[in-house]
Amino acid sequence: MSSTRIHQSPLTPFKTTQFLESLIQKDHSGALKRQFYPAPEENDINDGHEDPIGDQLKSPIPGLVHRYRNRVLLLTSSDCFALCRFCFRKTLLTKRKNIFLQPGHIARAIDYINEHHEIWEVILSGGDPLTRSDHDLQTIFTAIEAIDHVAIVRMHSRAPVVNPARITTRLTTIFETYAKPFYFVLHVNHPAEMASEVLRACSQLRKSGAILLSQTVLLKGVNNSAPVLADLLRTLVKNGIKPYYLHHCDRAWGNSHFRVELETGREIMADLRRSVSGICLPTYIFDIPHGYGKVPADRSYLNNTASGWQAIDQDGSQHILPII
Ligand SMILES: *Cc1c(COP(=O)(O)O)cnc(C)c1O
């Protein structure tokens, strides 16, 4: 592939994998290419935000985000196998901001978790945590296993879709030997991503004892259609993966061409409720900008009022958002 054909965004370098390229070749819908190939609209950075969900505001030490009392996010890696054009951490990833867990800083993050007895769950995110070496992952799992008050480890990754070869026996052995429940949340957006190699990687994860969930971002031109999402959700459930979240797209820099109106998202969810089984339904979720956290995108938390959108966070505080 010639890189001269590709429009270069000032914000996000272009990065895919060989495996993803093979899927893109086969995908006549164009939904996969749209997620990973730069578009001219990316230069339109006036209406988005560098850190839309406020990670930096809630990061007590580099690599760790403590937004909710009972769980922490470990930003395990600032790297991904492929770069999604709509990413909400894209500028943080590409500028290599010091919010990610540096190779030498695992012990510091573990100390923080050890000292905070209210932490019940540790979530490995990034970047993609599976870009870290097996050795580093083993270190993290071993350290967390020894902390009595941590009941659950969860990992959010796109690796099975963009680089299924990363799911090796050596890797799954780490999960298999880990004594506590391990939840693996697959980032997947379109049925064309559910290739046989991907399903095989998921099956290997399942055999290691991991409990599989999925998260999907609602994206214009990719999956803003109830039939497309119904297909994806059924395929996930058929393969032992429980749909967890459907994310309303965060207003990140340069992703305006991917955003779907919240009311449209609600209509798609209503369509899905009519067309798929209850176990196929994810929660449509909205992240209140600037660190106020996630809430379901329904009327008990989000209402369109005369002064703008009114969001009610988990503590009951109200936030007026001119646009969402
Ligand atoms: C999204 C997120 C979580 C996880 O939230 P769940 O609703 O439990 O999936 C945890 N910490 C931070 C900082 C997050 O952004």
Averages of pLDDT over each 10 residues, the chain, 324 residues: 48 90 97 96 79 82 93 94 92 72 87 98 96 95 97 98 98 97 98 98 98 98 98 98 98 94 98 98 96 95 94 96 88
CA of 40 to the centre of ligand 1 (A): 31
Annotated active-site residue in 250, 280, 284, 292: 250
pLDDT of residue 2: 37
Q: Is 280 a catalytic residue?
A: no
Q: Is 68 a catalytic residue?
A: yes
Q: Is 301 a catalytic residue?
A: no
d(CA 50, CA 297): 22
CA of 222 to the centre of ligand 1 (A): 24
pLDDT of residue 70: 97
CA of 2 to the centre of ligand 1 (A): 38
Measured from the CB, is residue 105 less than 6 Å from ligand 1? Answer: no
Q: Is 266 a catalytic residue?
A: no
Measured from the CB, is residue 185 less than 6 Å from ligand 1? Answer: no
Whole-structure pTM value: 0.95
Measured from the CB, is residue 73 less than 6 Å from ligand 1? Answer: yes
Measured from the CB, is residue 112 less than 6 Å from ligand 1? Answer: no
Annotated active-site residue in 15, 37, 44, 71: 71
Measured from the CB, is residue 247 less than 6 Å from ligand 1? Answer: no
CA-based nearest residue to 135, from 97, 103, 183, 93:
103
Token pair listed for 18:
């060989």
Annotated active-site residue in 33, 34, 67, 132: 67
Q: Are strands 71-75 and 64-68 parallel, antiparallel or unpaired?
A: antiparallel
The percent of the chain in helix, strand and coil, each rounded to the nearest 5, is: 40, 20, 40
d(CA 172, CA 182): 11
d(CA 195, CA 153): 27
- Peptide linkage before 308 cis (omega within 30 of 0): no
CA of 62 to the centre of ligand 1 (A): 17
d(CA 77, CA 129): 6
Q: Is 51 a catalytic residue?
A: no
